[in-house]
Amino acid sequence: MSTRPTKEPIAVPPEIQTRLEAAGLRRTLATRAVLGLFLANPQGTLSHAQALVSLTARGLDINRVTLYRLLDRLAACGVLQRHADDGARTWRYGLADASEGTVPRFECDACHRQFRLTEASAPTQAATNDLFRTLAGLGHQGLRVDVSIHGTCASCVPSAETGGKPLP
Ligand SMILES: [Zn+2]
């Protein structure tokens, strides 16, 4: 790697640092650059191809297979969340929710922004506890629940007021 990213590196939050260390992931230049992409736009999601383009544009020389493995490892240790993009038959990655409890997530299928529905955290946690109890009754061990709702966000819903166009 002969080129240096010109942008200031974004500080890695302690809760993410803890997860990286727990997973034995070294803070390589590539790891920090990938995290920087997501930290710079915490609500956004990126496909592998989009991440590759952004990293290359920032002067990082990263191979596509290496990036795949890195994204998967970051998802496996809970730093990123991976979800299927049904339309494009690919995975999209976004920063995982570091807060306690189960916060449902809403993702707009049009602009791929994510919204955390913290208001729905308590009822979702109650439903999650019920699910875990049901699983335990069957002898299974539930560890984690992802509640993800897909749809169209307020900005992308065509309405008469915006002339049917999404707001900027
Ligand atoms: Zn939208």
Q: Where residue 46 sits, what CATH number does that domain have?
A: 1.10.10.10
| Percent over 90 (pLDDT), the chain | 35
Q: What is the pLDDT of residues 38-93, one digit of tens each?
A: 998 888 899 999 999 999 999 999 999 999 999 999 988 878 988 887 777 788 99
117 CA → ligand 1 middle, Å: 15
Instruction: Show the domain range for 76.
Output: 1-98
Contacts of 153 (CB under 8 A, 6+ apart): 106, 108, 110, 111, 113, 115
Check if the beta carbon of residue 34 is closer than 8 Å to that of residue 70: yes
2: confidence class by pLDDT, cuts 50, 70, 90: very low
Can you give the pLDDT at residue 101? 60
State yes or no: pLDDT of 118 exceeds 70: yes
The verdict on pTM exceeding 0.85 is no
156 CA → ligand 1 middle, Å: 4
71 CA → ligand 1 middle, Å: 24
Given 46, 74, 98, the domain boundary residue is 98
DSSP designation for 139? T
- Let me know whether 81 and 23 are in one domain: yes
Can you give the pLDDT at residue 148? 87
Domain count, the chain: 2
Q: Is 94 exposed, middle or buried (0-12, 13-18, 19+ CB in 10 A)?
A: buried
State yes or no: pLDDT of 133 exceeds 90: no
Rounded distance, CA 70 to CA 154, Å? 33
152 CA → ligand 1 middle, Å: 5
168 CA → ligand 1 middle, Å: 10
Rounded distance, CA 98 to CA 101, Å? 9
Can you give the pLDDT at residue 20? 84
Given 67, 98, 129, the domain boundary residue is 98
106 CA → ligand 1 middle, Å: 10
140 CA → ligand 1 middle, Å: 37
167 or 22, greater pLDDT: 22
Can you give the pLDDT at residue 121? 75
